Amino acid sequence: MRVFLSPPMMNGDDERRLVGEAFDSNYIAPCGPMVDLFEREAAERFGFRQTLATVSGTTALELLARALEIRPGDKIIVSDLTFIGSVAAFVSLGAEPVFVDSDPATWCMDPNLLAEALKRYPQAKAVIATDLYGQSCDIDALAACCDAYGTKLIVDAAESVGATYRGRPSGRGAWAAIYSFNGNKIITTGGGGMLLSDDEAMMALCRKLASQAREPFPWYEHERVGTYGRLGNIPAAIGVGQLRHLEDALRDKAAVWDAWQTRFASRPWIHPMPTADYGVPNRWLTTVTLEGVDPFKVVEALVAKGIEARPLWKPMRLQPVFRACDAVCSGVDEALFQSGLCLPSGRNLAPETMDEIVQLLDSIACQ
Ligand SMILES: Cc1ncc(COP(=O)(O)O)c(C=O)c1O
């Protein structure tokens, strides 16, 4: 059977029952009681004043880009080591990204390099910092840099749902945060996302923009252009069930991380992603760097056996599409990409599969 990096996991019959309730209500629609419940319970669980369930994490970012009225030529400052979804929506509206390298101690945006980037581009419209592989970025340090220039800090917390930073849920302390509930995330709605913020005026605007910017008239009246972005009632029902079991998911992911660590202990050439002392990661993916072993070879060998594994994110500034963009670099991201590996991290990953994977790693290390 194929082993996935991070497959979805339902919790007994809970999600099925909630989807059944959604069917019974006949809200097979882009609104309904499950959407309201999901947003309310997420606001309570994550401590934000406002939440907006969206069709994806990318859409949540698109709504922010539209709310900020991003125009061609606007600069935005973005984590270099991330998934392209962090930046795609902003670039589609004409923004020019400037990429910032990572702190080797966290693999997230380096606050000292952000300070340099802001000095170079004080007019930047926003900073988008990614929480990488379930670990929060150093929000307070990044926010202090942004505050000095009056720049909005957005945390792309797509990968860190359930993690904490100084005791606060991930993204809390930024102007806005986005979560992803894509099928491979720690909790899922199949595909989906969320925008979270305490800025009530901005959230009201994003709610309107997510419904094609329809004004409150009996007919369709539009003063500006929005998009379609609301999560439907059926996936929201799955989200309610998943969210109610987030603590179970966190416990299972931590157990998988620990099980990997016992296997790494006797292999000093495998270095796990460092854990920052300011928070508790959600352990979405177990990621490592390898010393003296080619991670691309490992990925190829694992995939040939039906085991999904991946290199780390390829830094954005190395992507052909961003060739012309400026960056503030230290070389950390490039080194991570050349040596890093994402290992299967499913909640029910079998110990025998982990053993098989480390044996394969050993055999490549000996070549
Ligand atoms: C860092 C990061 N940002 C943004 C996204 C986009 O989220 P979605 O797939 O829900 O659009 C993802 C994951 O998919 C991600 O890992």
User: Is 185 exposed, middle or buried (CB count within 10 Å of its CB: 0-12, 13-18, 19+)?
Assistant: buried
- Which tens digit of pLDDT belongs to each residue from 186-222? 999 999 999 999 999 999 999 999 999 999 999 999 9
306: left (phi over 0), alpha (psi -120 to 50) or beta: left
Is residue 144 predicted with pLDDT exceeding 90? yes
Any ligand 1 atom below 6 A from CB of 226:
no
User: Is 153 part of a structural domain of the chain?
Assistant: yes
Any ligand 1 atom below 6 A from CB of 313:
no
**Domain match, 181 and 33 both:** yes
User: Is 184 part of a structural domain of the chain?
Assistant: yes
**Domain match, 119 and 260 both:** no
**Domain match, 238 and 261 both:** no
Task: Tell me which residue range forms the domain holding 257.
Answer: 246-366
Last residue of a domain, one of 197, 221, 244: 244
Any ligand 1 atom below 6 A from CB of 57:
yes
**Domain match, 302 and 231 both:** no
Best residue among 132, 136, 180, 195 to mutate for probing ligand 1, ranked by most atoms within 8 Å of CB: 180
Residue pair 4/17 in contact (Cβ under 8 Å)? The answer is no
Cα–ligand 1 centroid distance for 292 (angstroms): 31
**Domain match, 118 and 63 both:** yes
pLDDT at 367: 79
**Domain match, 225 and 258 both:** no
What SS3 class is residue 174? strand
- Which tens digit of pLDDT belongs to each residue from 74-108? 999 999 999 999 999 999 999 999 999 999 999 99
Angle at 61 between CA 56 and CA 65, to 5 degrees: 145
Cα–ligand 1 centroid distance for 306 (angstroms): 24
**Domain match, 273 and 228 both:** no
**Domain match, 64 and 129 both:** yes
- Which tens digit of pLDDT belongs to each residue from 293-339? 999 999 999 999 999 999 999 999 999 999 999 999 999 999 999 99
Number of structural domains in the chain: 2
**Domain match, 160 and 289 both:** no
Amino acid at 167: G
Q: Residue 255 has which token pair? A: 């157990």
User: Is 250 part of a structural domain of the chain?
Assistant: yes
User: Is 5 part of a structural domain of the chain?
Assistant: no
User: Is 262 part of a structural domain of the chain?
Assistant: yes
User: Is 9 part of a structural domain of the chain?
Assistant: no
